[in-house]
Structure 1
């Protein structure tokens, strides 16, 4: 894991630790998969733990706003 971390830091210096990578993966899975499936995949006992990783996708909101805003 340490070698992986160093390799990733060479690519992207913002990578701090393995937990950051895990959190990013869980967030991406939640965009694609069902909440319960992701809960099982990451090993959380409570669904509320998995829900913490849900984020609003601001990029999609920006695109929709730009596409449908009447003043644009």
Structure 2
């Protein structure tokens, strides 16, 4: 279980690094909070995955669309 948690933190850290690179390139505003955004994206993925796993009628298409909608919202 510890290895899975470590992978989760690695993903969040990599996403923070990526978002900071986008800030350096001027794609995202300088004041954009990369840490909050990365944690929110991770939370979105976890939430949508749990819906997909525990709701029998929840389709893969709904999983992907839910992620897309929420990530679009985070970055607009």
Greater relative CO, 1 or 2 (CA 8 Å, sep 6+): 2
Structure ID, larger Rg: 1
Higher helix share: 2
TM-score (norm 1): 0.29
TM-score (norm 2): 0.28
